[in-house]
Amino acid sequence: MATLDQLARGAVGQLDEWVHLAMDRTVRLAVTGLNQSGKTVFTTALVHHLLHALDGANLPFFQVVAEGRLQGTRIMLQPDMDVPAFRYDSYLRALLGAKPAWPVTTDALSEIRLALRFRPAGMVSRRITPSATLYLDIIDYPGEWLLDLPMLRLSFEEWSAQTLQRCEEEPRLSLSQEWRARLAETDLAQPAREEPIRLLGESYTRFLLACKEAKVGLSFLQPGRFTIPGDFRGAPLLMFSPVPPPGHQGNPPGSLREELEKRFESYKKWVIDTFFSRYFTSFDRQIVLLDLLSAMNRGPGAFADRQMALEAILQGFRYGQANLLTRLFKPRIDKLLFAVTKADFVAANQHANLERLLRQMVARPANDAAFAGVEIKTQALASLRCTRTVVREHDGRRLSFVQGIPKGRDKETLLFPGEIPETIPDPNEWDANRFHFLEFEPRRPPDAETATPPHIRLDHALEFLLGDKLR
Amino acid sequence: MSRWVPPVELPPESFSPRQKPAAPPPAQLPVSPGQEEGCDEEDVHDTPAGPGPGKRGFGPGRWILFSLILLFIAVLVEDAVGFLAAQYRLHPSLGISFGLLLFVLTGALLTAVVREWRSLRSVRAQDELRLRLERLAREDAFGQARGVLEAAGERYRERPEMNNALLAYRAAFRDHLGDRELVTLFSDVAMRPLDQAALRVVGRHAAGAALSAVLSPVAMLDALLFLWRNLRMIHEIARIYGLRPGFAGSCVLVRQMAEGMVVVGATELLTHTAADLLGDTLAGAALASAGQAATNALFTARIGLRAINQCRPVPFPPSRLPGLREIRKELQGALPTHQ
């Protein structure tokens, strides 16, 4: 009886989902971005402002709030029982507590569902339903995992060749020395044994972690689980490495090379495919968050690497115009927002250039998506503003500084981090002293108990991503 | 020398206390949380404002025009004095009467000219304000719109219905907003009460125009009623916004009104002709009247929307232009309901 009851409940739940989808009352929002791009802070701020939209949140560009049609927002029970809940409360406590701090790097998947109750704006819809509900699902996950997406289309040989080719240029060339030496001394035709595979895998992982370090700051690092393993920590499928082409030796059965290939294929099947087919094929809106400032700090190599990584991960999503059938059976992303995050780390008068730079950086994927009929927007955004802009005379120039507490320090500073150029600079224009963007610590606003924390253009993002669903 | 300004980090002792804003906000409006949290007021004017409209020179063409006008006035005065003297010679009472009449007429004319001159000056200032805001709404500029919008808001300081809207605008203001965003914010938040009142006026007049179309028996009368109603509507809209449509705007409105009159008159004539041809059945007459009423209401609504757009000190962002949908709502409110 209990099983029948469970089945019936499951069926009713599924039917509910279908009805919401058919009525266009569910949005699955893909918050996409590489590591440290601000996905968790964005999601926390979004949830917090929506929950407090009626009691003081400053969202003048979010029409449903500005027009007084939003009746309230609640966190709902999650649709997926086996996915951890997004820890909104603890992230918020960390950000706005007595000693504010950024959340620790996300190392696992989590999910949150919000219900937004609103009065429809249209005359007809208002007469049919005086009050409607929009369900908003957001998934948070480590950005590193997204980089696995392009691997799905590659064979072990192709992936190895691409990875080794990238290692022929700096900074990968010098960082990969130890791993490439290990690779050179390993006989790949020998019978498969655990120890050489482990040594190779560990060496490759060390190389990836060195590339990821703040000083170098590379983004295109595959496989993503090697740096953030999640539930697969210690599993054999996280212990392999790219290898050079087989040459005359071929790929003998039972050899080390064959075992590495087997692990690569297992990784694709059990990690990438499972993860993406379950969570990443049902999105209908997407925000791509990009931390351009840290990439500019690190020079043309890191900037180009980030651009390449972004283009690669966006190829894995489904884009196109949505209709009733696609919503039910094959969801597609029909609105795509590219947002450069941490906009408060530069003065407000530089935001326009930041957006121009972003438009150039995402020109190719944006063009592809636009061709598929997707509505696209670019903007500068700060989910939690932690600096103020101050104008001072310096060396006879009037400069706009940012004032805040830099990360790792305890006193405020005034920083002019350099001018954001209108176009992506040529590598020879990329002087080592041209940019000095600092990360800043979050600031607890003086009225934190009563007011929502300041942001930059979060309401623009909400209006673009959800506005039409709340009419 | 490098083409870019190198990064600078200043020591904490270079922090100066907050300076007084160059242009203080109106005393009765509280400082919004965003301003307290944000930055020095001077930041907003970081980018220097564009040059104001330059004064036109007094060239030879103007001298010629000025002399001609003086000559014309002198001839008129000489002619009038001659005329009065001739009348006085005929009989003193005749001369005095004509003199008084001429004096009153000249006084009235001068008053009208001065009034029109003042109003033209305000229209020109308004056109300049609108053009500037239109430009700011198109570009990616920063730091120029705030002062211009403050000036636009100042016009409504004495209007009680605007207090809450202006307060809401100031509360929503944040120093990171670019000029385009600020214009949109002002347009959405501060202008809301005026827009609502103006849309109500348009709805009421559109409903009235529909009704007069049904009642008026003659095409000429219908066209005249249409003209009178639309002029009143424009006048009311202008009073709501405290501004008149600018020169270009007036031309557009006059053209639309002329179009409307022609269509309204023609519809009336067509209705009569159709009735003569098809016979005066009740259904036919009702249908024709309904069509005529709809035409009148539609044209009045279009002119009203155009008038709102022309009288508004801040242009509507393209995505927020009010349309016939808004008027339909107001029409519903204007029509009597039986419950």
- Going from N- to C-terminal start, the domains of chain A cover 12-145+278-386+449-470, 152-276
From the number of C-beta atoms within 10 Å of its C-beta (0-12, 13-18, 19+), residue A153 rates as exposed
Q: Does B127 touch chain A (CB under 8 A)?
A: no
Q: How confident is the model at residue A267 (pLDDT cuts 50, 70, 90)?
A: very high
Q: Does A448 touch chain B (CB under 8 A)?
A: no
| Model confidence at B44: pLDDT above 90 | no
pLDDT at B191: 93
**Average pLDDT value for residue range A362-374:** 92
pLDDT at B50: 37
Q: Does A468 touch chain B (CB under 8 A)?
A: no
Q: Which residue of A has its CA nearest to B320?
A: A63
**Average pLDDT value for residue range A308-313:** 88
Lowest mean pLDDT among A87-96, A242-251, A371-380, B13-22: B13-22
Q: Give contacts of B185 with chain A, Cβ < 8 Å.
A: 60-61
The SS3 call for residue B129 is: helix
Residues A289/A339, Cβ–Cβ less than 8 Å: yes
| Model confidence at B320: pLDDT above 50 | yes
ipTM of the complex as predicted: 0.79
| Contact call for A436 and B174, based on CB within 8 A | no
Q: How confident is the model at residue B31 (pLDDT cuts 50, 70, 90)?
A: very low
Distance from CA of A389 to the nearest CA of B (A): 5
Q: Give contacts of A123 with chain B, Cβ < 8 Å.
A: 325, 328-329
| Contact call for B142 and A399, based on CB within 8 A | no
Q: Cβ contacts of residue A410 below 8 Å, gap of 6+?
A: none
| Contact call for A61 and B185, based on CB within 8 A | yes
Q: Does B8 touch chain A (CB under 8 A)?
A: yes
Decide which of 3.40.50.720, 1.20.1740.10, 3.30.9.10, 3.40.50.300 is the CATH code for A12-145+278-386+449-470: 3.40.50.300
| Contact call for A343 and B176, based on CB within 8 A | yes
- Tokens representing residue B310 in the block: 């022309």
- Tokens representing residue A50 in the block: 């929506």
Q: Which residue of A has its CA nearest to B16?
A: A392
Q: Does B174 touch chain A (CB under 8 A)?
A: yes
pLDDT at A241: 93
Q: Give contacts of A355 with chain B, Cβ < 8 Å.
A: 140
Distance from CA of A99 to the nearest CA of B (A): 18
| Contact call for B184 and A389, based on CB within 8 A | no
Q: How confident is the model at residue A324 (pLDDT cuts 50, 70, 90)?
A: low
Q: Give contacts of B47 with chain A, Cβ < 8 Å.
A: 349
Q: Which residue of B has its CA nearest to A350?
A: B142
Q: Does A126 touch chain B (CB under 8 A)?
A: no
Cα(A218)–Cα(A170) distance, rounded to whole angstroms?
11
Query: Taking phi first (over 0 means left), then psi (-120 to 50 degrees means alpha), and beta for anything else, what does residue A432 get?
Result: alpha
Q: How confident is the model at residue B282 (pLDDT cuts 50, 70, 90)?
A: low
HSE value, Cβ hemisphere, 13 Å, CA-based, for A107: 10
Q: Give contacts of B10 with chain A, Cβ < 8 Å.
A: 392, 394, 401, 413-416
Q: Which of B184, B236, B229, B188 is nearest to B210 (CA)?
A: B229
From the number of C-beta atoms within 10 Å of its C-beta (0-12, 13-18, 19+), residue B75 rates as exposed
Q: What letters, b where the CB count within 10 A reaches 16 and e where it falls short, cover B79-105?
A: eeeeebeebeeeeeeebeebbeeeeee
Q: Give contacts of B172 with chain A, Cβ < 8 Å.
A: 58, 60
| Contact call for B39 and A123, based on CB within 8 A | no
| Contact call for A58 and B172, based on CB within 8 A | yes
A99-132 confidence digits (pLDDT tens): 889 988 887 889 999 999 999 987 666 667 788 9
Q: Which residue of B has its CA nearest to A57?
A: B172
Residues A414/A399, Cβ–Cβ less than 8 Å: no
Distance from CA of B249 to the nearest CA of A (A): 29
Lowest mean pLDDT among A81-95, A115-129, B174-188: A115-129
Identify the helix (H) or strand (E) that includes residue B8: strand B8-10
Q: Which residue of B has its CA nearest to A406?
A: B9
Q: How confident is the model at residue A24 (pLDDT cuts 50, 70, 90)?
A: low
| Contact call for A352 and B175, based on CB within 8 A | no
Distance from CA of B142 to the nearest CA of A (A): 6
Q: Does B17 touch chain A (CB under 8 A)?
A: no
